Amino acid sequence: MSTIRLGDYLGVPTDGMLDDTPYAQLETTELAGFLAAWADWHRQALARLPQRIHPTARIHPTAVIGDDVIIGPHVRVWEFSTVRAGSVLCAGVSVGFNCEVTWSFLGERTILGHRIGINRTLVGADAHLSANLTVAAISMWSPRMSAPEREIVLRTPGGLHRCGTPRFGALIGDRVQTGNGISLGPGVALGRDCRVAGGVTLAGRAVPDHSVVTAPHTADVHVRRRRAPGSP
């Protein structure tokens, strides 16, 4: 079975807030192992942190923040956004207007545009995800999506990677940039410095560093001038 090491996609936060928590081990942890331990890691982190929301964070009054969310220095959460269910926003993260972040880890200085929904997802540092991006974490082929059973599996160059869970969205590496109107997951790993064009739908596979992913229809667009009325 193929392995996916988190350190090949994202780095450990450097601001110091998570230094004494299990999240400091991210770089050396394998994806399936992390997914199995994630809930326990988060409980330990909450127990060790003197404050779960840094005083320099700026959260709009209309935003909803869960009781178990960790928010680092200089984070911005904008209007009508929801961050919940054990999410971590590292230093300098910006969550735009009307986003939904559920059980996700956002690396330092990552920016979410507006109307983004991500679930069970890890994002590296300095990523920029544009508007109307969705990351799904549950396979539609589960008999009941409200109680998923189908394990998430990724195709990688080294073979299949079994995630060991029916709930996993995406692993998005440092400095990844995306266009708008994108659907990812369940089960995507985007390497560092990837670019994903608008309109892409991608699931169940790993994409190497520095890749450019485009939707087939973008190459099929044709532009031609209309004939003026009365022209031969």
Here the CATH number for the domain that contains residue 112 is 2.160.10.10
Q: How many CA atoms does the CB half-sphere of 95 hold within 13 Å?
A: 37
Task: Kindly state whether residue 203 falls inside one of the protein's structural domains.
Answer: yes
Region for 156 from its dihedrals, namely left if φ exceeds 0, alpha if ψ lies in -120 to 50, beta otherwise: beta
Query: How many angstroms separate the CA atoms of 192 and 50, rounded?
Result: 32
Task: Kindly state whether residue 11 falls inside one of the protein's structural domains.
Answer: yes
Structure pTM?
A: 0.90
**pLDDT in the model for residue 230:** 67
Task: Kindly state whether residue 225 falls inside one of the protein's structural domains.
Answer: no
Q: Of 124, 136, 120, 147, give the one whose Cα is nearest residue 35.
A: 120
Are the CB atoms for 143 and 149 separated by under 8 Å? Answer: yes
pLDDT in tens, 43-92: 999 999 999 999 999 999 999 999 999 999 999 999 999 999 999 999 99
Per-residue pLDDT band at 226 (split at 50, 70, 90): low
**pLDDT in the model for residue 82:** 97
Number of domains the chain contains: 1
**pLDDT in the model for residue 139:** 87
Mean pLDDT of the chain: 91
Domain enclosing residue 13, as ranges: 6-215
Per-residue pLDDT band at 203 (split at 50, 70, 90): very high
Structure-model confidence comparison of residues 140 and 111, the more confident one:
111
Task: Kindly state whether residue 194 falls inside one of the protein's structural domains.
Answer: yes
Task: Kindly state whether residue 229 falls inside one of the protein's structural domains.
Answer: no
**pLDDT in the model for residue 95:** 98
Task: Kindly state whether residue 177 falls inside one of the protein's structural domains.
Answer: yes
Structure-model confidence comparison of residues 70 and 157, the more confident one:
70
Task: Kindly state whether residue 220 falls inside one of the protein's structural domains.
Answer: no
Per-residue pLDDT band at 141 (split at 50, 70, 90): confident
Task: Kindly state whether residue 89 falls inside one of the protein's structural domains.
Answer: yes
Are the CB atoms for 103 and 120 separated by under 8 Å? Answer: yes
